[in-house]
Structure 1
């Protein structure tokens, strides 16, 4: 199921960044705008229980989208491509920060005896 959502979001990215016109452009782009930050936040919030993580990731995704839109509108630089690129950049930043913050697992006893 999550693989299908990633595929639809990727199609949305292709539609948005290539400028292709299609009736599916809007729904696919919406899934991209909600799915990218939600996925990054869900990975960053691994210590929460699944339901709490899903709710927090969805709320955080909406917050990221609204903050990006507000900032771009305030600076008079709004565009669909720019908005999607900014949301993807923020999502990537969240993902990289979460991966860097995660402590590394110590080697197992088997790997130390070799």
Structure 2
């Protein structure tokens, strides 16, 4: 339930920024998106680690990604808030896709396990 609320807040923040809609919730929700989207994507790529390590590395990687996007946009003289949100969202999506593809290729162990007959006899 908390994950669904987090996704809703992040999507709302990105939508408010991309639509250039004035709202008191725009700044905090957008900041949440800028941290949560890349952190979740990086956390999904680090499946071999425990949950605490994935959270710490995901947030640290999210902050690094945000700073790299801002630095690159400033160096190229193309900085805008909407462009930054779009770039972070796109990069987060690109980081999220490979782990999802790997997971989709893995056979589901529940389907391949032999079924026991529960019939009486």
Give the whole-Å Cα distance in 1 for the aligned partners of 2:46 and 2:56.
11
Q: Which has the larger radius of gyration?
A: 2
Tell me if 1:108 matches 2:112. yes
Post-superposition offset of 1:8: 0.9
Q: Count matched residues.
A: 111
TM-score by length of 1: 0.89
Q: Deviations over 1:17-70 (max 9, x none)?
A: 111111111000001111100011111111101111110001010011011111
C-alpha spacing 1:48/1:73, structure 2 compared with 1 (3 Å): same
**Aligned Cα RMSD in Å?**
1.6
Post-superposition offset of 1:4: 1.1
Give the whole-Å Cα distance in 2 for the aligned partners of 1:89 and 1:47.
24
Alignment of 1:65-84 (within 5 A): 65-84=66-85
TM-score by length of 2: 0.84
Q: Which residue of 2 aligns with 1:59?
A: 60
Give the whole-Å Cα distance in 2 for the aligned partners of 1:6 and 1:30.
13
